[in-house]
Structures are given as C-alpha cells and as structure tokens.
Amino acid sequence: MFGFRAVAVITILLILLDSGRVLCHTKGLRSPWPPSEQYPENSTRGGLMELQFMLWVKFVGSLRHSAFGRAVNKAFPSRALTVDKNPSAGDFTTIQAAVDSLPLINLVRVVIKVNAGTYTEKVRISPMRAFVTIQGEGAGKTVVQWGDTAETLGPTGQPIGTFNSATFAVNAPYFTAKNITFKVK
C-alpha cells in the first residue's frame, strides 16, 4: 500500500513540475505566446494562413521535404475538372464547388474546364490553392457574373467594401484564366 502512495505522489509531483512543456505530437509547433501576441494586430486571414504555413514548412525542414516533391510537372495539367450547369454533363454545377473540391494545399496544376453559359456566382480561390487554371469555351460564351458593389450590405449590416465585392477573387499564386469573361452584373 505504501508503494502505491509513493508512486502516486511522485507521479503527481512530476506532472506539476513539468506542466510548462508541450509533450505531444506537435513537437513545439505551438507558440509559447498567447494568440494576441504572436500575430500583428492588423494581420489578415490570408496573412495568418501564410504565416502558419511557413511555420509548418520550418517544422518539416524546408521546401525540399518529400511533401513538396509530388509537384514535378506544374506546366501540364495533372487533373482536369468540368463545370456545367447541367449536372449530367460535368463534374460540378458551380465553379466554386470545383475549387472547393481541391485540397487546401494544392501542389499540382489543375484545369477547371467551364462549359459555355452564364454562371451567376461569387468565386474565391484561397491562397494555398495554387496552380489552378480556369478555362472557358470562349470569352463571349462563358461568363461569370455577380452583383456586389462596395456599398452592398454584408451579413453584419455594414457595407462589404471594395475588397469583398469581387466577383472572382484569386489569392493563390500561379493562377491562369483563359477564354472566360468576369463581370459585375
């Protein structure tokens, strides 16, 4: 009985003395500072995502890590998706649904073929979804439109501003668009 109590007391003391260290699978990825101190006050969400991604890159060693080795051929498509208003004619009915189907960190060229038609939707391509090509069937045949302006009221009742009024917002590197028209209706 005495042995059990001694082991329990020693275990509790060790836990209390060593509670400041992170002992888990993150291996020190967690910042020692509270979230309010680790990021600048005026950071954007995209900037924070990029900062977190670069912390991850630093953790894995460098951009030469095997996780980045799959994207050998970025010039030619390794994957193609089709968007058509008719569900039986394509993989997706909206461009945003096709973009959302890509992995959060995309490392290979993806061509999203958009069949002829007018697509009334707001499209956003996040910063980590690189190497995306949007290809229409012709500038007069494939149109993406949306009606926001800087004065459009957002969900909070405040104007959304110029930055959030974009019909087609691309924040990712290596984006290409061809044979397609983007317009504000």
H or E element that contains 50 = helix 45-60
- 90-133 per-position pLDDT tens digit: 999 999 999 999 998 888 889 999 999 999 999 999 988 999 99
What 8-state DSSP symbol labels residue 158? S
Q: How many CA atoms lie within 13 A of 40 on its CB side?
A: 8
Q: Report whether 95 contacts 141 (CB < 8 A).
A: no
> 52 φ, ψ to 5°?
-65, -35
CB 98 within 8 A of CB 89: no
C-alpha to C-alpha distance for 172 and 102, rounded to whole angstroms = 13
- Give the model's pLDDT for residue 71: 47
3-state secondary structure of 143: strand
Q: Is the pLDDT of residue 168 over 90?
A: yes
Residue 56: both structure tokens together:
């991850």
Looking at the DSSP assignment, which residues form a beta bridge with residue 119?
144
Give the start-to-end residue ranges of the domains of the chain.
24-69, 79-184
pLDDT bin (cut points 50, 70, 90) of residue 135 is very high
| Token pair listed for 59 | 């953790």
pLDDT of 53: 72
Mean residue pLDDT of the chain comes to: 79
Whether the Cβ atoms of residue 83 and residue 98 lie closer than 8 Å to each other: yes
The CA-atom distances, in angstroms, between 138 and each of 38, 90, 104, 113, 160 are 47, 17, 29, 11, 31
pLDDT tens string 148-167:
888 999 889 999 888 888 89
Report pLDDT for 154: 87
| CA–CA dist 81, 114 (Å, integer) | 9
pLDDT for 179 equals 94
Q: Above pLDDT 70, what percent of the chain? A: 67
**pLDDT confidence of residue 177:** 94
Considering only residues 110 and 8, tell me which one the structure prediction assigns the higher pLDDT. Answer: 110
Q: Which amino acid is at 24?
A: C
Tokens (6 digits) for 165: 């009024």
pLDDT digits (tens, 9 = 90+) for 22-65: 445 555 555 555 555 555 566 666 676 777 777 776 766 655 55
- List, in order, residues 6 or more apart from 142 with CB less than 8 Å away: 114, 115, 116, 117, 119, 136, 179, 180, 181
How far lies 19's CA from each of 10, 11, 13, 29, 71, in Å? 14, 12, 10, 17, 41
